[in-house]
Amino acid sequence: MPSLVEPHQDTVTIHAGAGPSTKTFVVYSDFICHHSPFFKAAFNSLMKEGLTKTMTLEDTTPAAFGQFVHWRYATQLNDYDVSEPSVETLLDLWLLADKAMVPGLQNEVICAINNHKDLSATLQTQDFMKIWEQTSHDSPLLEFLVLQLVYRAHGFIHGEKFPHSLWVRLFNYIRIAKFRSLEAPLPMSLIKSQFFLKEVE
């Protein structure tokens, strides 16, 4: 695993976001490629990204990619020097980690969302629809959000916009759900057994 104790010469440039909100990040190639088969393949290929050492990621946000870079350098998602990312940013970060093929980060994001102090107040209908449209319908993130909706929803979700198959999944959870505090995070044993992805050694 790369260490900041040692000098690094090679960098890559990532343009994250679309339109005027795009931001540019210059990061050490060793760090961004070490845990990501996606970035490793792109920057070590004969494609444009490999030749120019530059990539544009229009399907993520600068906030999400910034968290990705922070996680790579700090080896943890949250610390005392960085404010807690929003739920929206965490969802975008999970999608970015899915694209980058970094299951360890996806698992950390699930934990961060589960423990987020503002989850009940900020999770919106469009968040469900984004995950529904951008992941497989058996995505652990989608299953996790549906379960959160069952246990912690406060009437902020407009379910009439949900596809029929998403409603079916929601009702299945409601049918088997046990009463619990609406504000309590889900147990870690449940999170790990149901929503964690297998990490590659």
**Predicted pLDDT at 180:** 52
Q: To the nearest whole percent, how much of the chain has pLDDT over 70?
A: 80
Q: Are strands 11-16 and 23-28 parallel, antiparallel or unpaired?
A: antiparallel
Cβ atoms of 117 and 82 closer than 8 Å: no
Domain assignment of residue 61, yes or no: yes
- 200: Cβ contacts below 8 Å, ≥ 6 apart: 103
Q: What is the count of structural domains for the chain?
A: 1
> Residue 57: is it exposed, middle or buried by C-beta count within 10 angstroms (0-12/13-18/19+)?
buried
Residue 150 lies in a domain: yes
Cα–chain center distance at 68: 9
User: Does 201 map to a domain?
Assistant: no
With tokens 């440039």, the residue in question is: 13
| Residues in CB range of 37: below 8 A, 6 or more apart | 101
Termini Cα distance of the chain: 12
* Residues in contact with 70: Cβ distance below 8 Å, sequence separation at least 6, in sequence order: 77, 82
Judge whether residue 75 has pLDDT over 60. Answer: yes
Supply the pTM of this predicted model: 0.86
* Whole-number Å distance between alpha carbons of 11 and 168: 47
Calculate mean pLDDT across residues 188-198.
Answer: 88
For residues 176 and 14, the model is more confident at 14
> Which residues on neighbouring strands pair with residue 15, listed in sequence order?
24, 56
Q: Is residue 168 part of a domain?
A: yes
Residue 4 inside a domain? The answer is no
Domain CATH code at residue 176: 3.30.710.10
Cα 106 to chain centroid distance, Å, stands at 6
Q: Is residue 2 a part of any domain in this protein?
A: no
Residue with tokens 């999400």: 64
Asked whether 81 and 36 are in contact (CB, 8 A), the reply is no
Read off the tokens for 105: 């980060």
Token pair for 55: 């990539």
Residue 22 within any structural domain of the chain = yes
* pLDDT, tens digit, 9 for 90 and up, residues 142-159: 888 888 877 765 555 566
Task: Print the domain residue range for 43.
Answer: 11-195
Residue 140 CB contacts under 8 Å (≥ 6 apart), including other chains? 106, 110, 194, 195, 196, 197
pLDDT value for 186: 80
Residue 5 lies in a domain: no
